[in-house]
Structure 1
């Protein structure tokens, strides 16, 4: 009897026909794409950047799947760490349809605005290093999702729901087989290096440019109404039980909003927001029982602190005077 070959180290079997693909973005276990397999058919949920495409294709090969067996590519939203590789991936999948939030569809058909916006922030060297090229998806191979839409993958039916708060071009995907949500960034971030006694610690993401705290809270409540048994975060991995995570996420979201409003008129607002966010995260981790040195926490959350402060500024600038 032949023993199945071990999976590559970037591919994790999560059960229920669901696999996490560690995309290699930024650092290990930072950015996941998900591969779902049912009755010989497959779907990718989020793709990572263009540099992740070889890993996504290798994941199919490791599971003895051909590219022709992939029916769907579903970015949760069009931020580049979630959808930057979608166009390039689609070139390899002859039968796949891209399913994207209607507000994000135009950016998948013509990603030039996405690229130029990121280029202005990161510069050419960082774009080449972290993101690669953005490839347009042919219009005939892409569809907009709708709130409550259902699609079929093999023998299971997935449901897509509109989930603003992090971005207005965000949807989440419900899988009834695992009773789990694929949440993109709508259910926060949770890194395994910050686990406390084997339990995940979670924080809200407020990155540019469409963070809206009221909408983010409403989205969390909507996701919880399905009584999920697990959530699949792009950053990072499958987490359960979900109820204590939602409680912690909502509490921190309230605190983030409060400190943002308090610093709205600060003369050095970005620096003040960054310092306040890091202090909040460090305090919350200590309260949860973490013994990680503050310097290690700061190192792990450097990118998130910077982006979260930028996104909060975008939100504060939209508030009425």
Structure 2
């Protein structure tokens, strides 16, 4: 049985929603910004849209009042629920990076994305079956855009590296920064690399620099929740961690060949996360 939806305040007017990836608490987060014109940041999986809709109910926000659904990137743990949420939040505009736009608005491309997830996970539709997002309600963005929500102003920031179709969301009013997956995974106070194919080290380091310059008040991750009390140092730490991770995987590949399983077996606990195999594969593909 799933726990009840209890949005947690993580910044002024900003609430964390546990999106219950694989029915696991603390594995995937989405966010509600309860502004004059409210928004959802990320859409979660197609099979757990009830979590976000439940959060709106708990916050007494009418889905019809949602101004925007901000899809940070089109990996289906973050974008899978966008189609249904757009249907349920009938007046919302969906914002997707221009490099990922076709994967959520075109049925054939969305089917290709689903098939790639099935292949990687070895499961059939592990995130549920996503609905296509209507083109006439979707805006392609590239970074630099701003959204006026009345009492909050959001800036969209191009944030490639983890994925080429990733953007971050910076609340200029509170300086909360929705980094989502662009600066890694943050679990129990520890940072882990998040480097799936087609991971790009140079692009990710440039993203860390770009986000650092915003001087955020808090980093809000997709896996999972808010970071620590020194968000700028946290971004610096991730920029230092990434090259170390890439070098380590490269050294192990030189010793053991490009065998993902053998490399994962050689890693100590510092590097182990639920996505370690995928993240090793991303580094190997970028060599």
TM-score of the aligned structures, taking structure 2 as reference length: 0.91
Q: Is the 8 A contact 1:206 1:307 kept in 2?
A: yes
The answer as to 2:234 corresponding to 1:271 is: no
8 A Cα contact 1:24 1:31, kept in partner? yes
Match of 2:194 in 1: 205
Alignment match, 2:35: 38
In structure 2, the partner of 1:169 is: 165
- Of residues 51, 66, 69, the one that matches 1:70 is 66
TM superposition shift of 1:260: 2.8
- The change in CA–CA distance for 1:42 and 1:127 in structure 2 (over 3 A counts) is farther
> Per the alignment, in what secondary structure is the counterpart of residue 34 of structure 1?
strand
State yes or no: 1:242 paired with 2:231. yes
Q: Across the two proteins, how many residue pairs are aligned to each other?
A: 279
- Cα 1:312–1:134 change in 2 (3 A) is same
In structure 2, C-alpha distance between the alignment counterparts of 1:181 and 1:73, rounded to whole Å: 16
Once residues 313 and 95 of structure 1 are traced to their aligned partners in structure 2, the CA distance between those partners, rounded to angstroms, is 43
The answer for the alignment partner of 1:319 in structure 2 is: none
Offset at 1:108?
Answer: 0.9
Q: 1 CA distance for matches of 2:174 and 2:223?
A: 19
Structure 2 residues not aligned, in runs of 5+: none
Aligned counterpart, 1:57: 53
Contact 2:5 2:54 in 1 (8 A): no
Task: Indicate how the Cα distance of structure 1 residues 268 and 212 shifts in structure 2: closer, same or farther if over 3 A, else same.
Answer: closer
In 2, are the aligned partners of 1:185 and 1:205 still within 8 Å (CA)?
Answer: yes
- Is the 2:76–2:127 Cα contact (8 Å) retained in structure 1? yes
How many Å apart are 1:215 and its aligned residue?
1.1
Is 1:85 aligned to residue 84 of structure 2?
no
TM-score scaled by length of structure 1: 0.82
Check conservation: 2:5, 2:58, Cα contact below 8 A: no
SS of the aligned residue for 2:16 comes to strand
Superposed CA deviations along residues 108-149 of structure 1, whole A, max 9, x for unmatched, are: 1021111111122234xx334x31101001110101013211
Q: Which moved more, 1:236-245 or 1:53-62?
A: 236-245
Match of 1:178 in 2: 174
Distance of 2:138 and 2:93 partners within structure 1: 6
Kindly tell me: are residues 252 and 106 of structure 1, through their superposed partners in 2, closer, same or farther at Cα, counting changes over 3 Å? same
Cα distance in 2, alignment partners of residues 83 and 44 from structure 1: 12
1:28 pairs with 2:18? no
Deviations 1:69-89 (A, max 9, x none): 001001110001111111111
Structure 1: gaps (5+ residues): 1-6, 193-199, 283-297, 317-321
Q: Does the 8 A contact of 1:8 with 1:62 survive in 2? A: no
How far is 1:185 from its partner?
A: 0.7
User: Counterpart in 1 of 2:243?
Assistant: 254
Any conservation in 2 of the 1:45–1:74 contact (CA below 8 Å)? Answer: yes
SS at match of 1:44: strand
Residues 36-69 of structure 1: per-residue CA shift (max 9 Å, x gap):
1112x21111111012211111111111111110
Equivalence for 2:124: 127
User: Relative to structure 1, is the Cα distance of residues 9 and 143 closer, same or farther in structure 2, using a 3 angstrom cutoff?
Assistant: closer
RMSD: 1.8
Q: Distance in 1 between matches of 2:158 and 2:195?
A: 18
